[in-house]
Structure 1
Amino acid sequence: MATLLARLGRAAYRSRRLVAAIWVAVLAGVVAVLVTAGGEFDDTFTIPGSESQAALDRLAELQPEAAGASAQIVFAVPEGATLADPRYQSAIAEVVAEAAQAPQVAAVADPFTSQAITPDGRAALATVEYEVPRENLDAGSLDALEQTTGAAEDAGLEVAVGGNAFGTTGVQIGPTEFVGVAVAVLVLVLTFGSLLAAGMNLLTAIVGIGVGLGGLLGVSSLISLSSTAPTLALMIGLAVGIDYALFILSRHRGQLAAGMHPEESAARATGTAGTAVVFAGLTVVIALAGLSVVGIPFLSVMGLAAAATVLVAVAVALTLLPALMGFAGRRLAPKPGSRAALREAALAAGDGGRRSMGERWAALVTRRPLVTVLLSVIGLGVLALPAAQLQLALPDNGAAAEDTTQRQAYDLISETFGPGLNGPLVVLVDGLDPATAQQAAGQVALAVGGTPTQTPGQFEGGLDDVAYAVPNVLPDGTAALVTVIPESGPQDEATSDLVTALRDLAPQLEQQTGADVAVTGQTAIAIDVSDRLDDALLPFALVVVGLAVVLLLLVFRSVLVPIKAAVGFLLSVGASFGAVVAVFQWGWLADVFGVPTTGPIISFMPVILMAVLFGLAMDYEVFLVSRMREEYVHGAAPRAAVLAGARHASRVVVAAALIMFSVFASFVTIDDVIVKAIAFGLAVGILLDAFVVRMTLVPAVLALLGRSAWWLPRWLDRVLPDLDVEGAQLSPVSTAPAPREPQPAAH
């Protein structure tokens, strides 16, 4: 592997103009496709194969207009007034008439006609049905609907517009998200001590992001792409793009400082550090692509989109970066007498020189390795305790920012009509006899919602946690919809239990009506998605951990090192989950991080967090431990190999971790709760994995295990392919005449 990549790096170095031209052409082509064929985002959650999705698809066949998006306009009178006042009735009627004329609106249900008024007469609800699904709404349609409420506001009514047409996942990237890039530049300058090296590192990351993210947005018209997917791809692509170039470029500068010829150094850096980059990138790609096995389309696209961006970052690091090294020549070498040159000289001197901070830290944690291991494991275990209370759900408008109209409508409906109206369930009764359809639909409604009592809005009988149920026979009489309003909110556990109870009741209802009965609606689909993701969490974790063990077994040719890496990964993931639960579910420091509301965690956050953190954790594992193994296979004693590996790799690992942390932390400022939770979990996970697991726990465990850390059964040694991560098979440094080099710029 190292030999092949060294040849690739040498070829890119020599053909630097051609390589650079190819990447410029690719970037230009991607931009052209993006400008001409860029599509729209689709934030619709679907779950093929589930009862709720099958019933919703069937409903779209029976009544196509039911597949359209819907919105809600909620009106509330001032304290002490009621909707009996003709002034308020007139204002509401005017709003309903204007809303019916808004773009793409199919119909608006007048609250006085549909009796969508609270028993105390203080609030009314107008339902707006659109002609098209949410993903097909024009950009100005919802804005036009919001502008129809002027008459009600002038009359003194409190008005808010919401509903599922608005959604919660619109993501906007602002200037605060680029604070992480600024921090990354600062870290690069401090790490390299060179603006040229830092700029080259950042340039390759930007090219990778441009090609990867631009290509993704360019094909958005051909695939169903959520608005969260590009943001996730941007976060991950930017972080790994900077890190991968950092790994290779730091090795190159160290070799230049030792006097190696620039071409030879570029080839060797690509062959050694580049091999670590390939395996680190491969772990990220496989883990992200593994999200496809969950069987949920939007999650599959999200994972594959981020994986494609990582692949581009790896390709840029292995080809464009060596080409840029060719353009820079010896100008990348630390200047004689500079801090960077003195540092490289100290690294080369080993124990004979001044110890680096990373080596001193490794010496400290390996002095009493058992104590270090116990403290690290106990500390991470305590941080992971809240993860035992993890609850999953898909976001709704209740998770939107407080200043958005959909959140205001959600809160006002919960306050006036009850939380269940924000998450109605739909029972589809299909295959009815038109002659008895009305009677059958009524039977289902009575069995589910109960019989009305003398008190308005009260029912007796029916299922627990059901406020009421309303039957509606479709025009052809062969099917009916029973709208079920829960007493609990869409994300409450009681609503999930109600869906289960409805499905348990379905066989009895089918026997009574002779029709097929299925539970559907956006709330039921969201519950099914969360349940499937919850069920997939443990198998996915086992796959990811198993992948880590196999991959690291190939890289390090050791049995215990992969097991140690997998256990460390689980500890950092558990601690990251615990931090997310504490902030986003329990509300600890929620105001500090701008969390709009607390409650269940976004259902697909755990699998994404595991996939991404796994790959990034293996970045540090491969880069740090490969340097330790390199020293060991060249004859160093076990503890000395740990210290030497830390001496050479810790500075780069720390810089990479700080860069990733700053990039992810900057995305915590985004209002979208999905991106906020993922970014927060990744930032915490990177911090803990890099500094507690890789920089502290790993050296202590390796020192504790001694030579047994690198033990591999002979039969397994013969079976496993030799990937040569350390570059032992590379030919000796060439002494042939150097090819022509670009002349340094005049100073």
Structure 2
Amino acid sequence: MFALLGRIAVNHPWKVIALWVIATIAVVGLAPKLTATTDQSSFLPSHYESIQAMELQQKAFPDDVTPAALIVVERADGAALSGDDAARVTAVATDLSGRNIKGVTGIQATPPAANRSIQVIAVQMTKTTDPSDKTQTDSVKELRDALRGQVSGTELKAGITGTAAQTLDQTESGNKGMAIIGIATVVLILVLMLVIFRSPVIALLPVITIGAISSTVGGLIAIVAHAFDLKVDSSVNSLLTVVLFGVGTDYILFLMFRYRERLRAGEDPKTAMISAVTRVGEAITSAAGAVIIAFLALTLSSLGMFRALGPALAIAVAVAMLAGLTLVPAIVSKLGTKVFWPSKAWQQEPKGTVFAALGRGLGRRPGVFAAAAGAVLVALGVAAFGFHPTFDMSSASTSDTTESTVYSKELLKGMPAGATQPSLVYLHSDAALTGAQLDAYRTALTTTPGVGQVGAPRVSADGSIAEFQVTLTSEPTSDAALATVRGPLRDSAHAAAPAGSSAYVGGMSSVLVDFKAAMNHDYKIVFPVAAILIALVLALLLRSVVAPWYLMGAVGLGFAATLGAAVLVFQRAQGNSGLIFSLPIIMYMFVIALGTDYNILMVARLREEAAEGRDPRTAAALSVRHTGPTIAAAGVILAGTFASMMLAGNSMLAQMGFAISFGIALSAFVMAMFFTPAVTALLGRKAWWPGRIGARRDIMTELDDQSDWQATQNSYTR
């Protein structure tokens, strides 16, 4: 099949290119607009208590006026607010209200805090459920501009926080991060491809081809998201950029290294490209299949953010694979050996390379290499037991210097920690609730451990639903707040509900408690399903039931080692309270899937060498020599593209970027380069059981010195 695909691409290049152009125009023309959401509650299924509480809120109070923004005012010198200062704050609120800013329905100054450190102006805004509606964020921009003029030249300073301000800062931070990631990714690919091939033509090849197909990928994702009503998280765009360029460049590298190898073996350019597609096509397809399966396993998640993320990234990988096996061969077939211009290095096999020496050493002492690689993985994996998840998504998705983050912290100077995002308890009865019932219920909530205060109930028009605003003693996204909601608050709310009524705890802390429960569910479902399916891909590729076991075991060790490294860097070295809660599942998908790419490439070459009659140790030595440069180059590029996420300016992308890039580096330079070929050499023909590949030939004694090795290698490549 791959030989036929190679012949079509090489013999009919213009038709292949034209087909890609037509497909791109069609997809882009038919695709709806893709919008992302930052509302975490929209990702949870409706059976969770926090979502049921939200539904009650919308039913009872459709015109809820909970402030969308909070203007925090304090003295610039840090002193307590005076009476004149408070009067000035009230005047500021009056002036802002008189500006009739679009989307703002009310502006009200509250009394100064008890310690007079701050004073808050509450801003109500028109509610919206459309993630593409920018009315609230535009209102925040206008309020900030007006506020700066109001406090300029006074002894006061002020800033805006709250949900609308946080959404604005997250969006702007995300856009800035996307630009940085995009530029860093392209520059990295250009530089590394120039270093590897010394040709500007090849350096531009992935940038141009992947850039050309990116619109197709975006269009297909929009079509699928619209068709299946998938909630696309705002972080998808960042991940999509690095996945598309990183994986796409990897597949191009796999192809071009094998193309150069066939040219050195004496084949003409067209035949060499057909041979390259034929020989590496199965490895690329299997590698892409493993990645796609791993990503699609996310559709089993109970969280909408992952159900949308999986198909989106799977589409990106599938399109990159198709381009690598059709569009790239078509373009290269028109360029021929000019693709290497101006370098002439492609014409000769390099002598005495590092990978030849590494391969020779591994072939002679596979046990030493396997033990050393395994020790590195286990040592880092031990640190994974210290992993602690954090659910503070608002500060994690922006930098610490954004206005909403800074003034969210300033707000705590004069208010209880839980006042920034209070929990909301809803009491629902079939009949109208009495005053005595409401008073007794409020008293029960007030005596709950971890609760600071409980506001007077707000009752719906028909009297059947009551809302109690509960201020926790802990910051809403902290471990203590989540523990309070998950245990004492929900227990008290349910137990104290009058006969014939039911209670539901909502608010941000409750949403995060349910997020944590959903994540624990996903770990038990998504992880094993993805591992089993990837193992099946490996079994089909290798025609073996033995190799998939130690290959998946190695990748599992790589996952643990990667998580351990992230714990050491962010929790131990930087002193963070924890890692982003979604990091393990995202990291698992990338490390398992993308890490398997390199294992597949290496083990496919091991099988190829064994099928040609090499004994296990020689097959391992030759595989490291030939495939090592490809894996090293691809690993550096893919790890580098994900590492660019660390430049985005927020802790969530920094943690993702570090963990994924470190995991890919481990997969390439520890597992695929050393562990996999070493274990395969130790197992010998048993690795391919029940298949019988090649006859055992013991020729390692011929490789006693560099000249003997080179002579043997030349005979094999020819």
- In the other structure, the counterpart of 2:702 is none
- In the other structure, the counterpart of 2:502 is 516
The 1:448–1:68 alpha-carbon spacing in structure 2 relative to 1, beyond 3 Å, is closer
Report the CA distance between 1:302 and its aligned residue. Answer: 1.8
Equivalences for 1:388-427 in 2 at 5 Å?
A: 388-399=385-396, 400-427=398-425
The 1:713–1:246 alpha-carbon spacing in structure 2 relative to 1, beyond 3 Å, is closer
Equivalences for 1:360-375 in 2 at 5 Å?
A: 360-375=357-372
Report the CA distance between 1:220 and its aligned residue. Answer: 7.3
Distance across 2 between alignment mates of 1:264 and 1:439: 88
The answer to whether structure 1 residue 609 and structure 2 residue 608 are counterparts is no
The 1:435–1:422 alpha-carbon spacing in structure 2 relative to 1, beyond 3 Å, is closer
Deviations 1:44-96 (A, max 9, x none): 11311211112212211221233977222222245685445134223234325
Amino acid at match of 1:129: Q
| Partner SS state of residue 476, structure 2 | coil
Distance across 1 between alignment mates of 2:645 and 2:60: 43
Residue 16 of structure 1: which of 4, 13, 17 is its match? 13
Amino acid at match of 1:284: V
- In the other structure, the counterpart of 1:192 is 197
Equivalences for 1:215-614 in 2 at 5 Å?
A: 215-216=220-221, 224-332=231-339, 338-343=344-349, 354-399=351-396, 400-431=398-429, 433-434=431-432, 436=434, 438-449=435-446, 462-476=447-461, 477-500=463-486, 501-510=488-497, 512=498, 514-586=500-572, 588-589=573-574, 598-614=576-592
Equivalences for 1:57-136 in 2 at 5 Å?
A: 57-66=55-64, 70-77=68-75, 81-95=79-93, 98-99=96-97, 101-112=100-111, 117-133=112-128, 135=131, 136=133
| Partner SS state of residue 415, structure 1 | coil
| Partner SS state of residue 121, structure 1 | coil
Identity of aligned residues (%): 24
Distance across 2 between alignment mates of 1:67 and 1:688: 51
Distance across 2 between alignment mates of 1:691 and 1:559: 25
Contact 2:263 2:347 in 1 (8 A): no
Amino acid at match of 1:102: I
Distance across 2 between alignment mates of 1:564 and 1:67: 58
Pick which of 320-329 and 152-161 moved more. Answer: 152-161
Contact 2:107 2:123 in 1 (8 A): yes
Amino acid at match of 1:485: T
Report the CA distance between 1:418 and its aligned residue. Answer: 3.2
Q: How many residues align?
A: 673
Distance across 2 between alignment mates of 1:686 and 1:435: 59
Flag structure 2 segments of 5+ consecutive residues without an equivalent. Answer: 693-718
- In the other structure, the counterpart of 1:180 is 185
TM-score by length of 1: 0.84
- In the other structure, the counterpart of 1:212 is 217
Amino acid at match of 2:566: V
The answer to whether structure 1 residue 202 and structure 2 residue 207 are counterparts is yes
Contact 1:184 1:658 in 2 (8 A): no
- In the other structure, the counterpart of 2:652 is 674
The answer to whether structure 1 residue 44 and structure 2 residue 30 are counterparts is no
| Partner SS state of residue 467, structure 1 | strand
The 1:572–1:67 alpha-carbon spacing in structure 2 relative to 1, beyond 3 Å, is farther
Report the CA distance between 1:653 and its aligned residue. Answer: 0.8
Distance across 2 between alignment mates of 1:432 and 1:125: 38
| Partner SS state of residue 186, structure 2 | helix
Distance across 1 between alignment mates of 2:230 and 2:387: 32
Report the CA distance between 1:362 and its aligned residue. Answer: 2.7
Report the CA distance between 1:619 and its aligned residue. Answer: 1.0
The 1:582–1:220 alpha-carbon spacing in structure 2 relative to 1, beyond 3 Å, is same
Distance across 2 between alignment mates of 1:712 and 1:276: 20
- In the other structure, the counterpart of 1:728 is none
Distance across 2 between alignment mates of 1:15 and 1:89: 79
Amino acid at match of 1:661: A
Pick which of 99-108 and 244-253 moved more. Answer: 99-108
Distance across 2 between alignment mates of 1:287 and 1:322: 27
Report the CA distance between 1:20 and its aligned residue. Answer: 0.9
Amino acid at match of 1:156: E
Distance across 2 between alignment mates of 1:41 and 1:334: 42
Residue 637 of structure 1: which of 598, 611, 615 is its match? 615
RMSD: 2.7
Pick which of 602-611 and 37-46 moved more. Answer: 37-46
Amino acid at match of 1:262: P
Report the CA distance between 1:29 and its aligned residue. Answer: 4.7
Contact 2:207 2:245 in 1 (8 A): no
Contact 1:71 1:163 in 2 (8 A): yes
The 1:304–1:97 alpha-carbon spacing in structure 2 relative to 1, beyond 3 Å, is farther
Deviations 1:578-636 (A, max 9, x none): 222233334x258xxxxxxx333222221111112212111101111111110101111
Contact 2:359 2:623 in 1 (8 A): no
Distance across 2 between alignment mates of 1:96 and 1:30: 51
Contact 1:42 1:227 in 2 (8 A): yes
Flag structure 1 segments of 5+ consecutive residues without an equivalent. Answer: 347-353, 450-461, 591-597, 715-747
Distance across 2 between alignment mates of 1:254 and 1:156: 72
Report the CA distance between 1:359 and its aligned residue. Answer: 2.9
- In the other structure, the counterpart of 2:686 is 708
Amino acid at match of 2:202: A
Distance across 1 between alignment mates of 2:207 and 2:567: 34
Pick which of 647-656 and 417-426 moved more. Answer: 417-426
The 1:295–1:63 alpha-carbon spacing in structure 2 relative to 1, beyond 3 Å, is same
Residue 654 of structure 1: which of 615, 622, 632 is its match? 632
Report the CA distance between 1:106 and its aligned residue. Answer: 2.7
Report the CA distance between 1:234 and its aligned residue. Answer: 0.9
- In the other structure, the counterpart of 1:724 is none
The 1:195–1:613 alpha-carbon spacing in structure 2 relative to 1, beyond 3 Å, is same
The 1:96–1:256 alpha-carbon spacing in structure 2 relative to 1, beyond 3 Å, is farther
Distance across 1 between alignment mates of 2:181 and 2:522: 34
Amino acid at match of 2:418: G
| Partner SS state of residue 416, structure 1 | coil
| Partner SS state of residue 76, structure 1 | strand
- In the other structure, the counterpart of 2:704 is none
Pick which of 623-632 and 491-500 moved more. Answer: 491-500
| Partner SS state of residue 496, structure 2 | helix
The 1:657–1:284 alpha-carbon spacing in structure 2 relative to 1, beyond 3 Å, is same
Amino acid at match of 2:395: G
Deviations 1:1-53 (A, max 9, x none): xxx1221221122221121122223334555567xx53543111131121111
